[in-house]
Amino acid sequence: MCLIRTFVAVDLPDEMREKIKDIQSKLEPFDLRLVGPELVHITLKFLGDMPEEKVSAISEALDSIECEPFEANIAGLGVFPKPSYAKVVWIGAEGNFVKLHDEVESSLKSFRFKKDRRGFTAHSTIARVKNIPKADKEDFLRILDELKDVEIGKMYVDRVKFKKSTLTPEGPIYETLHEAKLG
């Protein structure tokens, strides 16, 4: 049995990639692992490792999502879990993502994937923090504060993508296995 690492996501439009790159350039002085701008997305549900044979059944389940397409605003910079102990740097996403997330959860219920331990927050990870030494913390927090209200742009969410993630030393490679249209 071949296991593949998978997730369900909304891709950001290509025209947002330059803006993401600009924001990431402001974070370059710090010890972070930046996410390639072309890979930045909004994860609705991480499925983890699963048998490849389930791809068509999951694709079919995702086609049953009942959520109308919606307008979303991609804006604001933040960190998880908190600024004094940042592990992930993200860009916020506002729109009907909670309903969409709940619909994804509901459509996949019969597969018994793990429920998210933390509540769902729509976001796009743009960097993972390796280490911020005490000497750099003040500068890091200042840049986060300067970018907290950054505007990336508006987008129309009309599909979700079921993706495979192959981890490599150079970073992940994503492949879309299925695209489910909303509405």
Question: Which sequence positions are flagged as catalytic?
Answer: 41, 123
> What contacts 24+ positions apart, CB below 8 Å, involve 16-25?
16/40, 16/74, 16/152, 16/153, 16/155, 19/152, 19/153, 20/91, 20/124, 20/126, 20/152, 23/77, 23/91, 23/126, 23/147, 23/150, 24/126, 24/127
Q: Which of 100, 76, 69, 65 is nearest to 23 (CA)?
A: 76
Structure-block tokens of residue 173: 């490679």
Report which residue type is found at 160: V
Q: Which of 152, 59, 153, 143 is nearest to 108 (CA)?
A: 59
- 65 three-class SS: coil
Tell me the torsion sign for CA atoms 78, 80, 81, 83.
negative
